[in-house]
Amino acid sequence: MKIRCAFVLLLAVPATTTLLKADDQATVPPPPTAVPAAVPDADKKTDLEVRMDKVGKAFRKLRKQVADPTQNASSLELLSKMQAAMKEAEALTPAKAQDLPEDQRAKFVEDFKSGIMAMEDEFAKLSDAITAGKNDDAVKIVAEIQDLEKKDHKEFKRPEKD
């Protein structure tokens, strides 16, 4: 008889612990779902920044492959994307223009547009060099474009706020 009671208890313990665990899980609230934080207005990109991001992304790829003649077709494709984005950027005005006094704004925008055109001229030279298979010249032109980009960003890009 004592063995039967012990045997029944041994069978009952796992069944009751399973039921207790199920009750505990039912009372625990599910973990909160992650809600994306609202993007502040200051973090939104302007149309010009979107275009320039396209140029920058394509230019980074182009820099890596411009020396390789087997990549010329891909380089020309990247260059055409860059040229299209720059064409769209011609009609846009940098956000920094809003920070300037009214009397300086027109000259700033004019200088910006001439900077865009200078960059487009460099892209045309680069396209000609790649098409002609002069990858060594293309590498030099890419270096010139980088220098022009740094100069123009210093002049036309709004400084980052901390």
Distances (CA, A) of 75 to 1, 56, 131, 151: 89, 14, 10, 24
pLDDT at 92 over 80: yes
Q: What's the predicted TM-score (pTM) here? A: 0.68
Reported as a single tens digit per residue, the pLDDT across 127-161 is: 999 999 999 999 999 999 999 989 888 888 877 76
- Inter-residue contact 156 to 89 (CB < 8 Å): no
First-to-last alpha carbon distance for the chain, in angstroms, is: 80
Query: What are the structural domains, with CATH classification, of the chain?
Result: 41-156 (1.20.120.10)
Which residues, including other chains, have CB under 8 Å from residue 51's CB and lie 6 or more apart? 85, 86, 88, 89, 92
What pLDDT score was predicted for residue 14? 63
Reported as a single tens digit per residue, the pLDDT across 30-73 is: 555 544 444 445 568 888 889 999 999 999 999 999 999 999 99
Distances (CA, A) of 129 to 34, 64, 105, 142: 51, 16, 36, 11
Q: Which of 142, 138, 118 is nearest to 129 (CA)?
A: 138
pLDDT at 84 over 80: yes
Q: In this predicted model, which residue has the larger pLDDT, 107 or 156? A: 107
